[in-house]
Amino acid sequence: MSVVLLLGISWLVSGCGGEGQTESLKEAVYGSPEAQISMEKPTTSELYSGAALSIAPEVNPVPNAKVHEVRLDVTHSEIQVTEGVKFVAWTFGGTLPGPVLHVRQGDRVRFTMTNRSDQTVSFSPPTPHSIDFHAAMVNPADKYREVIPGATIKFEWVANYPGVFMYHCGSPAILQHMIYGMIGMTIVEPKNGYPTKVDREFALVQSELYLTKMKSGMYLVDMEAAKQKKATYVTFNGIPKQYVDKPLQAKPGERVRIYILNAGPNGTSSFHVVGTLFDKAWFDGNPQNEQRGLQTVILGSSNGAIVEFVIPEAGTYTFVDHEFADVELGAVGQIVAKSEAIASK
């Protein structure tokens, strides 16, 4: 009886991540050189660079390197949300959401960011910005400090934990910077890869937009609506219903992995794919946080997950935030599964 009890306790401890956690922490790297801020100008007009970056829903494989040079510049630019709806967004790398950063556990990220908001003064006042990587363990007062327009920050961090993490601007008012579009996803692959093989991968960032239409026809970011959590749109990868108009593609029988991040900033996401079940769901994208046979994963603001499922047969598989008010605001897309070959990108 007592042996069974001991075994049970031992299983519980290891099952709760005791052993794995210790192993992770043993290899964790804490501390990194002080961030450097200068008035150094970027030598390229590219707003982002680095083999570890891709634009969602695409996910580039992790480059075969232990150190990743990554540049994500901040820019103010006009983004078309839907027909007739444009607004001046603030973005990392010129895209909404910012590019997906994909590295492996234990890798070092050498990060550079220039605040280029001084280059778009004709339509948007230059504004201080910063970046907060949830995947990093660093001193926020140093690495996440504000960068004035025209300045460049450089710092390093090591990806200690596997997962699907958020990055965002941390300048006050943070809510305002986030609803302007300063959000993105970091994927940290486990050191020895995932325990499963998949045929297809997609990255989806769910986020809300809060806009108000002026008499002139232009749209402005609506801070009051954001404070009251009254979203104008809820999107996957920045545009409402874009994957209904241009569905993602897969083939029957394929195993699909979706990296899903709820960037919020205010709402939760009840992510669900109609017509299949999540064979595996790893909360916050860490395989140690495994759940099986789920219909829905619920993600608070900034939570991520990896969900894997099989496309059971040819058909159209609609993915939604199952909080259906959000579907009406745009949080819906489709995966079309056909047997014929899928056109390459």
Partner 1 sequence: MRKFSSIFILMILPCLVWGNTSLNAPPKQVRSFSPGTKGTVLIFVSSLCPCTDAHRIMVENLMTRMPASGFKFYAVFSNKGETTELIEYFYRTIGWQMPYILDSSGTLQKKYKATHTPQAFVISPQNKVLYRGPIDDSNLNQGRVDNPYLKNALEDLLAGRAVKASEVAGTGCWIVRSISSKELK
Contact residues toward partner 1 (CB under 8 A) are 39, 88, 118, 121-128, 148-150, 172-173, 176-177, 180, 212, 214-216, 220, 223-224
**Distance of closest approach, residue 198 Cβ to partner 1, in angstroms:** 41
Residue 24 or 77 having the CB closest to partner 1: 77
Radius of gyration of the chain (CA): 21
Let me know the angle formed at the C-alpha of 76 by 43 and 46, rounded to the nearest 5 degrees. Answer: 25
Residue 150 or 247 having the CB closest to partner 1: 150
**Distance of closest approach, residue 225 Cβ to partner 1, in angstroms:** 10
Residue 118 or 254 having the CB closest to partner 1: 118
- Reported in sequence order, the residue ranges of 169-232 that DSSP labels E, i.e. its strands, are 183-189, 200-209, 211-213, 219-221
Distance CA 48, CA 30 (A): 26
**Distance of closest approach, residue 174 Cβ to partner 1, in angstroms:** 9
**Distance of closest approach, residue 214 Cβ to partner 1, in angstroms:** 6
Phi/psi of residue 178, nearest 5 degrees: -70, -40
CA distances to 65, 102, 103, 179, 255 from 61, rounded to whole Å, are 11, 7, 8, 29, 17
Distance CA 86, CA 83 (A): 8
Whether the CB-CB separation of 83 and 43 falls below 8 Å is answered with: no
Residue 214 or 341 having the CB closest to partner 1: 214
**Distance of closest approach, residue 91 Cβ to partner 1, in angstroms:** 15
Residue 18 or 125 having the CB closest to partner 1: 125
**Distance of closest approach, residue 139 Cβ to partner 1, in angstroms:** 16
**Distance of closest approach, residue 223 Cβ to partner 1, in angstroms:** 6
For residues 112-126, b (16+ Cβ closer than 10 Å) or e, as one string?
bbbbbbebbeeebeb
**Distance of closest approach, residue 235 Cβ to partner 1, in angstroms:** 21
Residue 85 or 342 having the CB closest to partner 1: 85
Q: Which residue, among 59, 60, 62, 88, has the nearest Cα to 76 in the 3D structure?
A: 88
Torsion angle of alpha carbons 258, 264, 270, 274, nearest 10°?
-50
- Note the Cα 344 to chain centre separation in Å: 24
Whether the CB-CB separation of 220 and 176 falls below 8 Å is answered with: no
Torsion angle of alpha carbons 240, 244, 249, 255, nearest 10°?
80
Write the CB contacts of 102 (distance below 8 Å, at least 6 apart in sequence). Answer: 52, 53, 54, 59, 60, 61, 62, 186, 187, 189
Tokens of 45: 């007009």
**Distance of closest approach, residue 138 Cβ to partner 1, in angstroms:** 18
Residue 41 or 66 having the CB closest to partner 1: 41
Residue 174 or 244 having the CB closest to partner 1: 174
Residue 177 or 272 having the CB closest to partner 1: 177
The residue type of 240 is: P
